[in-house]
Each structure stands twice: as C-alpha cells, then as structure tokens.
Structure 1
Amino acid sequence: MIIVDSREKKWQHIEKYFQQHGILYQIQKLDIADYMLEGQDKFVIDRKQNLDELCSNLCTKDSGRFWREVRRSREQKVKMVILCEHGGKIKSIKDVAEWKSTYSRVTGRQLAAEIYRVHIAYGVEFLFCDKRSTGRRIVELLEDTAWIEKR
C-alpha cells in the first residue's frame, strides 16, 4: 500500500491513476516527502509540480521546510527522490540549465547548480516526468527495491 502525505496538494491526477489501476493507498502525515510504500520507510518520493515549485524550494527564503526534510532524510538514512512534473523538454538535470522561469529571476543554470548541490551533498536523486505519467512513475519507483539499496 502506498502512503500519501496528508499535506499533498493538487494530486487528483495521481489519485485517479491509483484508483484506475487498483493501487491501494492511504492518506496520513509523513515526516519526509509525499509518497512511500507502507512498511518501507527508507525510500520516499517528494513530488514537485514543476520547476518553479522546485526553484522556490531551493532558491528562496521560503526554502526552510524543504531543507529540513532533506537533512532529516540523510540523518535517518532515508533515500529521497524528487520527482518533478515539469514535462516538455525537461528530462534531466542537464535540461534544467536551459529553463527560463516566468515567475523568478533565478536562471535555469542557477537552479541546475542548486539541484546538483543537493544531489552531491545529500544524495537526493532528481527525476523528471510529464504530469500524465506521474502516478505510474511513483508506482514504478516505489516497487523498484534497487533504489532502497542505494541509500
């Protein structure tokens, strides 16, 4: 069963995928991230709606909650994956460098540098997908025990 954080917002498309495919899920407060497999608390997925949300988490004064989660994951030896639903041409961190925000002065190159910093310093993985495939990607990642072994 997948545990979904009770604070998760705008996830109806994921919930619809779970329901259409008979994926069992339960909503409860998670201390780290947005999704985990019940009984497997050493691997979590934190979903970001797009690069603008990721940018606000990494590059603004309001990033405290995100950084606390990242640090907590490392302290508790939890492998964290950030799944960003930006879609389009953004398929890897390298692609982020070419991104231009409509809301922020942060450049794609600056955001990519911050992503690499989090990845190197804390072991957080960053993956990208289209919003239509998020539910499927969450299920695939949670079922892939190789991620858990990489902690």
Structure 2
Amino acid sequence: MGKVLIEDTRNQPGKHDLKRKYFDEHGYKVIRSKLYVGDYALVGGTVAVDTKQSIAEIHGNLTADHARFRRECVRAQDAGYQLHVLVENEFGVSCGADLIQWVEPEWAMRKRKRAKRHIDGAVLLRTMATMYRRYGVLFWFCRPEDAGRRVIEILEGGCPHGDG
C-alpha cells in the first residue's frame, strides 16, 4: 500500500480533481478528514499544505480576510506545524521574482467581485514576506496541472521545483 494523504473535508469535491488524479496515479491513498490547518497533510506529519486556486484568492486571504488567515498561521505555529501555501495560477508566476513583476490583467480584475484596483504583485509579495517572518509560513506558486506533484514534494520534505 502507498502512503496515506489526508485531505481536509472543507475542500469542495470536484474542485481538486487534477490533484486527486495525481495522487491516485502515484499510489497515494486519500482520506478525507478535518485537518487542524491546511488542506493536505501526510498521516503523522507536521507539514501542512494550504492550496489556493489563484493569486486573487491569496490576495483576498491576505487583505480582506487577513484576520482569519492570520489565526490559521498562528494555530499552525502554536501546534508545531510547518504551513506551506501553494498558489495555483495560470499567469506563469512560479516564484517571488515573478510575482514582483506580475501585474493583474484587466480581465482578471473584472472577474473579482467588487474589485476597485489591480492586485500589485510586489505589494502582495511583501505581505507574504511578513507572514513568513512572523509565522514561518512558506509560499509557493505553480500551474494548476502541477499542483498535485507540488503538494507531494512539499509534504515529503523535498525542495519543491522552483524557488518559491
């Protein structure tokens, strides 16, 4: 039997099919259970991965939903978990250096409800750096089709492809 991966029950079924397909193809049994922090963890591990569907989602977490996100970071830190946030995106952002130069396209801004201004990648990266300094949270980026592999790389302690 392969390794056992826990997926948080708050992950909506059907929205993580690419990741689930990768896990199945690589011998990971997925058990759905409520996790203390994050969306994915290995049984008995102290590393958790919280996946974000987009740069807009992590932006919302770090701005409008900052208090809730901060509480999760503190909870992870207090419990001895290393929390990693994996931000999926189709913009080619694969690391912090890419995010600094990234400017949210007009069409993407229009998709965000009530958005009044474009997301500034450099400002977002500074906020992520603050969360790292205060709570030890690590941020990674990938294409949606690479997310399953990246989750496993992070959970197994290998250095994920790219420099974060």
2:124 paired with 1:111 = yes
TM-score (norm: length of structure 1): 0.87
Aligned counterpart for 1:38 among listed residues 22, 39, 43 = 43
Aligned counterpart for 1:49 among listed residues 36, 50, 53 = 53
1:15-63 CA distance string (max 9 Å, x none): 12122222111001112010000011x2111111111000000011x33
Partner of 1:136: 149
1:71-115 CA distance string (max 9 Å, x none): 111111211111111143311122212223313424222111111
The ranges of structure 1 where at least 4 consecutive aligned residues each deviate by more than 6 angstroms after the TM superposition are: none
TM-score (norm: length of structure 2): 0.80
Amino acid at match of 1:136: R
RMSD of Structure 2 on Structure 1 (CA): 1.9
Q: Provide the C-alpha distance between the structure 2 equivalents of 1:66 and 1:142, rounded to a whole number of angstroms.
A: 20
Q: Provide the C-alpha distance between the structure 2 equivalents of 1:109 and 1:144, rounded to a whole number of angstroms.
A: 28
Q: Is the 8 A contact 1:87 1:131 kept in 2?
A: yes
Partner of 2:103: 100
Amino acid at match of 1:49: Q
3-state DSSP of counterpart to 2:101:
coil
Q: Provide the C-alpha distance between the structure 2 equivalents of 1:146 and 1:49, rounded to a whole number of angstroms.
A: 21
Partner of 1:126: 139
3-state DSSP of counterpart to 1:69:
helix
Amino acid at match of 1:21: H
Q: Is the 8 A contact 1:93 1:112 kept in 2?
A: yes
Partner of 1:77: 80
Q: Is the 8 A contact 1:4 1:30 kept in 2?
A: yes
Tell me, which stretches of 5 or more residues in structure 2 are unaligned?
A: none
Q: Provide the C-alpha distance between the structure 2 equivalents of 1:108 and 1:18, rounded to a whole number of angstroms.
A: 31
3-state DSSP of counterpart to 2:102:
coil
Count, aligned residues: 145
Amino acid at match of 1:142: L
The higher radius of gyration belongs to: 2
